[in-house]
Chains A and B, each alone.
Chain A
Amino acid sequence: RKEVEQDPGPFNVPEGATVAFNCTYSNSASQSFFWYRQDCRKEPKLLMSVYSSGNEDGRFTAQLNRASQYISLLIRDSKLSDSATYLCVVNILNDMRFGAGTRLTVKP
């Protein structure tokens, strides 16, 4: 089983849609969690850290469920500029492990 698993997608949604990504991790000792976005041929950029209580930043909401070992990212009112690959990242004993990414395309 992979340490960090994501649905690869692709997710193709219309503008204004709400889309959710899930990510599961296998190591219960995982300490911290992040969502990054990566545009084509660019480096990953930190989107948000995921706190145990869940956190929201504008249209983006991240949640963590330690019991079930998954992290989610919800994007509301999606924009064309949200099209990217979203990477789930888990800090496992000070090693950062990346999921393979979920590709999102938002269409007009």
Chain B
Amino acid sequence: GAVVSQHPSWVICKSGTSVKIECRSLDFQATTMFWYRQFPKQSLMLMATSNEGSKATYEQGVEKDKFLINHASLTLSTLTVTSAHPEDSSFYICSASGLAGVGRTDTQYFGPGTRLTVL
């Protein structure tokens, strides 16, 4: 149980284009989803926290107009990197924590990540 998927697993795009990444909880309902970014050999950096049906809460320094997050249902959250630039190239990982009945409600289950390369 507690499986989280991400799509796509990797993407290469040209500078200036927008990229959408999907995060799905496959076998549980995720009240909260988290988006992280990780640069090579660095730790996870939380970008934003989203609760179903409400606006995401962004961490300091993360541009909300550049990283659009939508959490329209209890099983799907999307992150759109708008007008991507080479410095946005990174490993983007989502995680989800769920309703009671699947593990602990405060445990985060991670998706496999999306590797974004912007040329």
The interface residues of chain A, by DSSP majority, are classed as: strand
**B-side interface size class:** 10 to 19
The contact size tier of chain A is: 20 to 34
B107 and A94: CB pair below 8 A?
A: no
Q: Tell me the bound Cα distance from A49 to B91 in angstroms.
A: 25
8 Å CB interface, A24-79 against B: 31-32, 34, 41-46, 49
Interface membership of A87, Cβ < 8 A: yes
Given contacts A34-B107, A94-B106, A96-B34, contact A42 B113 (CB under 8 A): yes
- Taken together as a complex, chains A and B put the C-alpha atoms of A42 and B91 apart, in Å, by 9
Chain A nearest CB: distance from B37 CB in Å?
A: 12
| Contact, CB under 8 Å: A41 / B91 | yes
Chain B residue, CB-CB nearest to A6:
B43
CB of B82 closer than 8 Å to a CB of A: no
Other than the known A46-B108, A98-B46, what 4 A-B pairs have Cβ atoms closer than 8 Å? Answer: A43-B113, A49-B104, A49-B107, A96-B34
